[in-house]
Amino acid sequence: MLEKIYIKNFALIPELELDFHQGLNIITGETGAGKSIIVDALMLLLGERASTEYIRQGEKKAIIEGVFNIPPSNNVIAWFKTEGFDLEDEKVIIRREITEKNSRAFINDTPVQINSLKKLGDFLVDFHGQHDHQILLKPESHIELLDIFAKVSDLKNDYYTSYVKLKEQIENLHTTKKKEKSLKDRIDYINFELKEIDKINPKIDEDILIENELRIKENAELLFQLSSEIYSILFDDENSVYSKLQIVRKQLNQIVRIDTKFEQFINDFNSILVNIEELSNFASSYKSEIDFDALSVEELRERYVSLKGLTKKYGSIKNAVIKREELISELQLAENFDDEIRRMEQEILSHKKIVEEKAQKLSRKRQQSASVLEKQVVNTLIELGVPHSEFKVIFNQENDNSDDKYILSVTTKSGNVRLFDNGWDIVEFYISTNKGESPKPLALTASGGEISRVMLSIKSIAADSENLPMLVFDEIDSGISGRIAQKVGFAMKKLARKHQIISITHLPQICALADKNIHVEKFETNGRTIISAHSLTKEEKLKETARLISGENITESSLKSARELVDAEVQ
């Protein structure tokens, strides 16, 4: 339960501290006074998304801090162990800080992830906003309310995992079939491209090698002339460079015998002679191997043109070789498509049986829980002033008349049933509040007050089922008044024996039954609008109840009525 909340620089609240009772806590105040801001602060404290808009104008940081008495719930204890907290004391302090840059959360001054804090909040409290009862007007939301009561999250998650796998298998099959059709439409062109590449039979970098070879063959005469001249100049006769350098070597050797200063050049000079001899030999060998065959040059030119055609089409010879491998793979795939599709279809049919079993198991659990929920809602509605109510949870399925076996549906005794991500059930609440009338869709027939009472009924039943320690209601009593309002108040009072309730109301009948009354007001001071709140004394509670009866002008009559409401015993 929430024992205390401290709020600073949050929206229009400069600073506020409130204590709460373990039972029924009622928040009242004029319309627009800012009652919902306290609920907003509590929601943020338990992991809701923060916004910088919450920071009070002119301030740098908003702070919300709550002291909670943690219940010995398995889920809650497991959460604290998972997060590494040692619960030596049942009391914990949760703090939320919001700045322009970020939002942080702490438990007992230890940082905690916001998403993780949200999970803790789900174990501790159920929030009902001003318009949340309107989800009952949306039949598609009814299954979620039933699932909360039925506690089918494990079954639903297990089904969902298998459903997603089936969906992926079906999508892959359809993709493969589209690819098969595309390939079959392209098969002639694939064969044409493959034949075109195979006719040339390119090798990677072959065009570069041929380009170099062509350059050599096209300049054969020049290369022969130049290599011949090199050989002649360096080595061919008595006047060659090599012969003259041999003379120089003899002269160097004679000098060194007399003066060793030239000795340092002997080794380098000998190396020069060796290099010249090697170069001469290479030039002689090179010119003798030059090919003057015009036919081979023409063949190379034709080959080079063919390769350039592939380069122009595919970007490079390497790309053409890679493309050839891809074309062969596509042809092989086209040949094996039938086998591959049969394999995929068999996997789908096999997995459908698993999905069907899980959908059936989930549906069976829902239907078992639905019969219990129907009775409990009727009993609760009697307490809420609907003595002749009949509440039904109607199950339907969406039939699929397609002959395609490879879609998101399964075959049951009732035919082909479409699958959804939460099973095959379509759930809708039906209600009758008049004796002798058969139940009709809740979303179409229930009044605003009846919708509120059905929601309160479901919320209270779910709270008992989930063992939730806290319930927060922001005007769940809308659309009711008079005797019915008092019955709703009695029901909330009884609910508060097992759960802490924090509720915003405009009804005197509910205000009068509170264990703790908190009054919220908005006013101006020093040119700034401020929201403040304080706990009411017994006398103030009486006056607040009277104000809700007669307005600002409290009369003896309204005070008397208020006293009667305060003194009323819960039936």
Q: What is the pLDDT of residues 225-249, one digit of tens each?
A: 998 889 888 888 778 898 889 899 9
Q: What is the predicted pLDDT for the residue at 295?
A: 66
Query: Across residues 557-563, what is the average pLDDT?
Result: 89
Q: What is the predicted pLDDT for the residue at 162?
A: 95
Res. 571 pLDDT band, cuts 50 70 90: low
Strand, coil or helix: 84: coil
Q: What is the pLDDT of residues 357-371, one digit of tens each?
A: 999 999 999 999 999
Inform me whether the pLDDT recorded for 148 exceeds 90: no
Inform me whether the pLDDT recorded for 468 exceeds 80: no
Q: What is the pLDDT of residues 319-349, one digit of tens each?
A: 989 989 988 888 887 777 888 889 999 999 9
Q: Which residues contact 386 (CB under 8 A, 6 or more apart)?
A: 433, 450, 453
How many percent of the chain have pLDDT more than 70?
Answer: 97
> Which of 55-59, 86-90, 115-119, 245-249 shows the lowest per-residue confidence on average (mean pLDDT)?
86-90
Q: Using alpha carbons only, how large is the chain's radius of gyration in Å?
A: 45
Residue 408 CA to residue 420 CA, distance in Å, equals 8
Q: What is the pLDDT of residues 414-449, one digit of tens each?
A: 788 999 999 999 999 999 988 888 999 988 877 777
The DSSP secondary-structure symbol of 570 reads P
Inform me whether the pLDDT recorded for 27 exceeds 90: yes
Domain segments of the chain as ranges? 1-130+467-536, 183-331
Tokens standing for 144? 């979620």
Residues 518, 522, 524, 527, Cα dihedral to 10°: 120
Inform me whether the pLDDT recorded for 121 exceeds 90: no
Residue 457 CA to residue 492 CA, distance in Å, equals 10
Query: Which of 199, 215, 196 has its CA nearest to residue 207?
Result: 215
Q: Does domain 1-130+467-536 have CATH number 3.40.50.300?
A: yes
In terms of DSSP bridges, do strands 470-474 and 125-128 run parallel, antiparallel, or are they unpaired?
A: parallel
